[in-house]
Amino acid sequence: MASSSAAAGLLARQLKQMQNDKDIPGISCGLVDNNVFEWEVMLMINDDTKYYGGGFFRAHLSFPTEYPLMPPKMRFETPIFHPNIYASGDVCISILHPPEEDKYGYESAAERWSPVQTPETILLSVISMLSSPNDESPANVEAAAMWRENPTEFKKRVRKCVRDSQQFD
């Protein structure tokens, strides 16, 4: 049980640091039901990003009790069309994959989760991924094909996601 209380303490410190850090524009974090292992995140994407600028994307970070030895899972609650995001909203990015050799040989262990990652580095990586998708290993095959073969249509789909994300309920 000591490890989960250590993880809880670390997460509480990391959340407090992110909430107090004014150098991280466009990221807002809070707890879900006062549970330090469940974070609600709002990504307010800078207007000058190529595709998702102006979007307000709500997401969820779920941390395992083995954190920081194992990665959290991230899922967008706001619908988002992107090559590296499954239709369910689950994010597929190397740094969120467990720290082991990739059985398919696609990723090196160095690209995968490491305990030096933090919620901040995860969210900054996801924001970077939005404007630079990895279409060689897509979670959403339709989005990856459109990104490569029909950029105009891709941008139209994404702009609709951005407009929809601006409608707060």
Q: What is the DSSP string of 44-67?
A: E--TTSTTTTT-EEEEEEE--TTT
What sections of the chain are H helices per DSSP? 2-20, 119-131, 141-149, 151-165
The CATH number given to whatever domain includes residue 83 is: 3.10.110.10
pTM confidence score:
0.90
Give catalytic residues, as residue numbers.
92
What is the C-alpha separation between 138 and 102, in angstroms, rounded? 15
Q: pLDDT digits over 109-118, tens only?
A: 667 898 889 9
* pLDDT given at position 110: 66
Q: pLDDT digits over 117-156, tens only?
A: 999 999 999 999 998 898 888 999 999 999 999 999 999 9
Tell me whether the omega of the peptide bond preceding residue 68 falls within 30 degrees of 0, making it cis: yes
Which residue ranges in the chain fall short of pLDDT 50? 1-2
* pLDDT given at position 103: 63
Q: Left (φ > 0), alpha (ψ -120 to 50) or beta: where does 34 sit? A: left
Q: In which domain, by residue range, is 127 found? A: 2-165
Structure tokens at 149: 């073969």
* pLDDT given at position 2: 47
Domain count, the chain: 1
